[in-house]
Structure 1
Amino acid sequence: MNRKLEHLNTSPAPIKHRISKEKVGFISCLLLAATFLLFPGTAVSFAASISDYAIKEYGLGFIVFPSLLVILSLLIAFTPFGKVRLGGGMRNLSLVLLAGPPCYLLRVWVLV
């Protein structure tokens, strides 16, 4: 009886077509946009209930802390501190992929 079981292959079949992370992010953004366009009232009330829950659960810091980070980033960008360069190499333009949540996939040129 054990001999018969040894010959059974129980591993799943290999996946032939894999979807890249960029495609998953793009499809997620399209679905989210379609949801907001097709059901605007429901989508807005759902988003409002999520933010209300987050504010009740995490307090006002959920709103204040990210706002302060944005203000700090803008201050650094538009003051002389924004001209400070880290490292002493040559300027090099390279393509960087910023990956966060699926809707934040963005390709930008940066100075390295």
Structure 2
Amino acid sequence: MPSFQTRLKITGLKPGNPPEAVMDNAVESLRSRHHVESHQLELAGGVPQLNLRFLVEPTEYSSENSAARESAAVMRDAVERVALTGTLSVLRRSRGRWAPV
């Protein structure tokens, strides 16, 4: 199965939301569409960033990429209910490397 990764920068938390709601919303929304392999929060240049790896059902290469981009957008929308976001990246695992979709 094709493996993808999203990287979403978090620039702030909306009032009244606990920090753990950010990852919970991200994982829940992505899990509703695909199998989530892993998820973590790390600092990238001093800015919190969500990293989620997930599998897309195999079909045709460009369709898989489209499904991954759509799912990343849905995930971002879910996160934006509780946090302010920055850059969103979608990457595909190919020959042992992550390449932008």
Fold-level similarity (TM above 0.5): no
Answer with 1 or 2: which has the greater Rg. 1
Structure with the larger RCO, 1 or 2 (CA within 8 Å, 6+ apart): 2
Structure showing the higher helix proportion among its residues = 1
TM-score bucket of the superposed structures, by smaller chain: under 0.3
Question: TM-score with structure 1 length normalisation?
Answer: 0.23
TM-score with structure 2 setting the length:
0.26
Q: Is the strand fraction higher in 1 or 2?
A: 2
